[in-house]
Amino acid sequence: MSRPVRTFLTLLGLWLLGACEKPTAAPPPAAAKAAQATPLRYFGRPADGKLHVYFLDVDQGDATLIVSPTGRTVLVDAGPPSAGAHLANRLPELLTGKLDLVILTHPHVDHYGGLSAALGAVGARRLLEPQLPGTPADYDALLGAIGTSGMEVFSPAPPANAEPLRLPLGGGAELTVLWPRAPTEKLLTGDNPQELNSIVLRLGYQDTSVLLPGDALEKTEQYLLARGTPLSSTLLKVGAHGAATASSPAFLEAVRPRAALVSTGAGSPELAPSRNVLGRLEAMKARVFRTDRDGEVHAVSDGQRFTLTPQRHGAGSGPGESEIFEGRLDAAVAEQGDAGTSARDAAPGVQLRGGPASHQGVDIDLDKAPASAPKPVREERAPPPADGKTRYVASRKSDVFHLPDCPAVKRIKDENRLDFTTREQAAGGNARRPAKDCHP
């Protein structure tokens, strides 16, 4: 056999040997499966050592996302059902993993309606809700589904005689639950008890802070003032969407915000923020942002100041310009002592438990079991019988109808209010449409 032929055969054998060995270089099946299992739904940026607060635009409703300096995430409320698709798209853009905590301030549909869609998109580890009586059937069903999914549900109740309940978020950021405090203190009673006992939060990070009062009403504000609760904050999420039933002069004077954010929908005069409330904020030179006008507002704190950037310009076109609001030291909260004393005289019968100096706090580590016992999940209730009670409400001057506990109902004047016992009556032969904020 000639040398060229032997050389050719040798090279051919080496090539065939290499071809046979190539499959062994492929990754093992387990590694391939692990690569395929990598989550693709989270696109947020890694923690950057700053506090981020996103006041999300959910039309007529409320939803706020908090991202701590170390990357801990908290969603406070989840807007109406119509916001579900938006949250399912927006939250993955802001998160790098599932939510650490969801807080539902109170059982009104414009605060919890979009939660199912949000959880389906990003998931969550824990849920904090106020455990109030008289909740709607669909709210009970939501909690039931959450309970069976393995999420831990607990209430803001602190251990006896401890105040307040604190949720450290890492990097020095901390959420404080100012209200409610049942069973240590009784829930407030009166008209609209679920709003009276809405969860009120104060988010602090070094010299900056944000007050998140949910839909708490003026009576709640008076109670907090009477207790000497520290309220001074750099930013205020205006309570009850700017309704006249909240944001009393004494309360705003105690908060003294540099900027205020109103979460409200467009195109409904009945749901527009109160002119009196906006006037009070303007009088104290607080910069007012509105989601119906400015869209989503992104607030970033470096510990000394907040930088706020609206999604769009006030004229409705193009992104808005960033504005800077200096923080204030928590030591300034002590100045509220005198305001708290005067509030005591104005609110007789309120049992006080000390002023700002007594707020030692109780920490809850989000990685460990909460100090308060887990809340038992409510059983889903059957629909109420047709007993002649009001099931739907409309206004003579509007072409939409609402559920009785919808926030918009409180703004309908008595002479314009229409009550219905069935949905067919409320629709009036398709003359009226269901409201977007409560989806009756």
Residues 63-77, mean pLDDT to the nearest whole number: 97
Q: What is the structure's pLDDT at 26?
A: 41
Q: Which of 122-126, 340-344, 414-418 has the lowest mean pLDDT?
A: 340-344
Full domain range(s) for residue 423: 392-434
pLDDT for 268 beyond 70: no
Residues 77-101, mean pLDDT to the nearest whole number: 96
Last residue of a domain, one of 346, 363, 380: 363
Q: Which two tokens stand for residue 312?
A: 């769009």
d(CA 16, CA 192): 82
Q: What is the structure's pLDDT at 24?
A: 41
Q: Which of 51-60, 231-240, 267-276 has the lowest mean pLDDT?
A: 267-276
Q: What is the structure's pLDDT at 418?
A: 81
pTM: 0.73
Give 41's pLDDT tier (boundaries 50, 70, 90): confident
Give 416's pLDDT tier (boundaries 50, 70, 90): confident
394 or 225: which leads in pLDDT: 225
CATH number for the domain including 347?
3.60.15.10
Last residue of a domain, one of 322, 342, 363: 363
Residues 103-127, mean pLDDT to the nearest whole number: 96
Ramachandran category for residue 334: left, alpha or beta (phi over 0 → left; psi -120 to 50 → alpha): alpha
Tell me, yes or no, whether 308 and 203 share the same domain: yes
Percent with pLDDT over 90 in the chain = 53
31 or 219: which leads in pLDDT: 219
Task: Write the burial class of residue 188 (CB in 10 Å: 0-12 exposed, 13-18 middle, 19+ buried).
Answer: buried
Q: Is residue 229 part of a domain?
A: yes
Give 426's pLDDT tier (boundaries 50, 70, 90): confident
Residues 337-354, mean pLDDT to the nearest whole number: 32
Q: Which two tokens stand for residue 223?
A: 């109670």
Q: Which two tokens stand for residue 283?
A: 């009088």
Chain mean pLDDT for the chain: 79
Tell me, yes or no, whether 170 and 240 share the same domain: yes
Tell me, yes or no, whether 351 and 270 share the same domain: yes
Q: What is the structure's pLDDT at 31?
A: 36
Q: Is residue 39 part of a domain?
A: no
Give 285's pLDDT tier (boundaries 50, 70, 90): very high
Q: Where are the beta strands (DSSP E) in 190-333?
A: 200-205, 208-212, 235-237, 259-262, 287-290, 297-301, 305-310, 323-326
CB under 8 Å to 304, separation ≥6 — which residues? 206, 207, 208, 326, 327
Tell me, yes or no, whether 320 and 256 share the same domain: yes
Residues 317-326, mean pLDDT to the nearest whole number: 84
Q: Is residue 103 part of a domain?
A: yes
Tell me, yes or no, whether 191 and 85 share the same domain: yes
37 or 190: which leads in pLDDT: 190
Measured in whole angstroms, how far is the alpha carbon of residue 120 from the centre of its chain? Answer: 17
pLDDT for 271 beyond 70: yes
pLDDT for 346 beyond 60: no
Give 23's pLDDT tier (boundaries 50, 70, 90): very low
Percent with pLDDT over 70 in the chain = 72
Q: What is the structure's pLDDT at 62?
A: 96
d(CA 252, CA 266): 25
Residues 224-244, mean pLDDT to the nearest whole number: 95
Q: What is the structure's pLDDT at 157?
A: 76
Give the range with max mean pLDDT: 127-131, 144-148, 262-266, 364-368: 127-131
Residues 75-85, mean pLDDT to the nearest whole number: 96
Give 374's pLDDT tier (boundaries 50, 70, 90): very low
Give 6's pLDDT tier (boundaries 50, 70, 90): low
Tell me, yes or no, whether 125 and 232 share the same domain: yes
Tell me, yes or no, whether 221 and 310 share the same domain: yes
For the chain, the helix, strand and coil percentages under 3-state DSSP, each to the nearest 5: 30, 20, 45
7 or 83: which leads in pLDDT: 83
Tell me, yes or no, whether 354 and 414 share the same domain: no
Tell me, yes or no, whether 193 and 326 share the same domain: yes
Among 125, 113, 114, 109, smallest CA distance to 91 is for 114
Tell me, yes or no, whether 408 and 355 share the same domain: no
CB 339: neighbour CB atoms within 10 A?
16
Q: What is the structure's pLDDT at 224?
A: 96
Q: Is residue 21 part of a domain?
A: no
Tell me, yes or no, whether 221 and 281 share the same domain: yes
Domain count, the chain: 2
Q: Is residue 14 part of a domain?
A: no
d(CA 318, CA 323): 16
Q: Is residue 439 part of a domain?
A: no
Give the range with max mean pLDDT: 163-172, 194-203, 407-416: 194-203
Q: Which of 230-244, 259-273, 400-414 has the lowest mean pLDDT?
A: 400-414
Q: What is the structure's pLDDT at 58?
A: 96
Q: What is the structure's pLDDT at 67?
A: 98
CA gyration radius for the chain?
Answer: 27
Last residue of a domain, one of 363, 384, 401: 363
Q: Is residue 184 part of a domain?
A: yes
Q: What is the structure's pLDDT at 193?
A: 94
DSSP string, 81-107: GGGHHHHHHHHHHH-SSSBSEEE--SS
Q: What is the structure's pLDDT at 401?
A: 81
Tell me, yes or no, whether 316 and 401 share the same domain: no
